[in-house]
Structure formats: C-alpha cells, structure tokens
Amino acid sequence: MEKQTTHFGYEEVPVEEKAGRVEKVFDSVAQRYDVMNDLMSMGIHRLWKRITLERSGVRRGQTVLDIAGGTGDLTEKFVQRVGPQGRVVLADINASMLQVGRDRLLDRGVGARVEVVQADAQALPFPDNTFDCITIAFGLRNVTDKDAALASMARVLKPGGRLLVLEFSKPRNPVFEKVYDQYSFHVLPRIGRWVANDADSYRYLAESIRMHPDQQTLQAMMENAGLERVEYTNLTGGVVALHRGFKF
C-alpha cells in the first residue's frame, strides 16, 4: 500500500509525521508568539481579529469555541461578549500554546471563566450541536486533514450557529503578492532568528501560508462540510481572508 503523504510547508512528509512536526514548531515559538505576531504583521493582526469578533455576532449568554486559540487574545474578547451566563472554551492541540494562553487569561482576570481544552480540531471532543459560534484564527493551515476539521466543527455547531475561519490567503494584486513573497521568505525568517532565535519555524510558517487553499477553494471546502451561506472577506488586499459559514 502506498504511504500517504501531506505537506509540511513545502516538504512532503508522511501524514502521521505532520502533527508532531507542527507541535515542535509551536513548542519553539509559544513564549514569543504574541511579540512575533505584532512584529510580523506590524500590529495589523489585532485589526483582523477585531473584525472577526464583530462578524461573529456573539451575544450575551452564548457558547463560543475558539479553536487553535493559543495565547487567548480572541478568547478574552469573547468572554467579555458572552457575559457571566455565557460559555467560552479555549482549545488548542499544542500544550505549550495552551499554557501561555491559560497564564495570560489568569493574568487578565478572566481565566476562571474560560474552559481550557487540549483538543485536535479534526476530532473535537464535544457533543453535536454544542456551540453558537466557532472561530479558528491562523490555525487551519496547520491541520493535517482540513476537511475532517471543518466537518468536526460543523458537527459541534448548533443549528443557526456560525463558523469563522481567519487565515492567511492569496493576495489579489500580483505586484503586491511579489512584495509579500519577498517579505515572507527573506525578512520573516530573519525576524524569527533575531527575536525568537528560530528562523526555521518561521520559514515553515511562511511556506504553510503558500500551501494553504485560496479563498474560493476554502469556501468550497466549508460548503462541502455542510455549512451554508459561506462567504469570505479579503483583508489587507487578500493577505488574509475571513470566511464565515452557517449551520442550518
């Protein structure tokens, strides 16, 4: 039987190896993750997440699952939105990222109101029809089987619930895309080496962005997972796209 492979950045690796390799990347960058995000995006990632929060439509008393929530920046905002009667779950497959997120939320005074769960997006450990809203920000591209993850998310959404996927995508302007490529493959790894002492992890992150499905492909994948009214909004010229779909 032919061995199944998948992409780890530009490298072709056995399917069973990818999760372990991704885990090593995030173990390495966890402590400096927020600082690196600010440097790499020049702070614009905060605007992207604020738009995601607004488009989520989350209201008081609702249930929210923040997948690949890592350091908990979106989770913290959802806690404020749902109020004391709501429920917010921070989930991530990586224990190092979860530890950083848990500590940060405790420092901000909201840790007691957040459930922290180490979970694989491909097989979420929640009953069907549990959440009003699910978000995954900059995490889907690291998942081995994206179709399985999207189907798992759709399963645990309540009828009427919505999934928001915030992820790097394909710039719309060819000239801008070339500039962006130069930045991603030459500047970004250097920042990673200077700030986090880890150029290789940030080179992988740049490659993983290029291997991620483009806007239309991801839209179709969400529809195939059973979501409806799927739409996307390009942010910063398509460097990032916010996809949203509903379960009916």
Residue 200 is labelled as binding a ligand: no
- Lateral strand order in the sheet of 240-246: 114-118, 87-92, 63-67, 131-137, 157-168, 240-246, 228-235
Please provide residue 63's backbone torsions phi and psi, each rounded to the nearest 5 degrees. Answer: -110, 135
- Helix, strand counts (H, E) of the chain: 10, 9
How far is it, in rounded angstroms, from Cα 246 to Cα 248?
A: 6
- DSSP codes of every residue in 163-174: EEEEEE---S-H
Residue 119 three-state SS? coil
Asked whether residue 147 is marked as a ligand-binding residue, the answer is: no
Q: Name the phi and psi angles at 222, rounded to 5.
A: -65, -40
Which helix (H) or strand (E) segment holds residue 65: the answer is strand 63-67
CA distance 18 to 23: 8
Q: Are 140 and 165 in contact (CB under 8 A)?
A: yes
71 is in an annotated binding site: yes
Does the annotation flag 121 for ligand binding?
A: yes
Q: Which amino acids are annotated as binding site for S-adenosyl-L-methionine, given as ranges?
A: 71, 92, 120-121
Q: Which amino acids are annotated as binding site, given as ranges?
A: 71, 92, 120-121
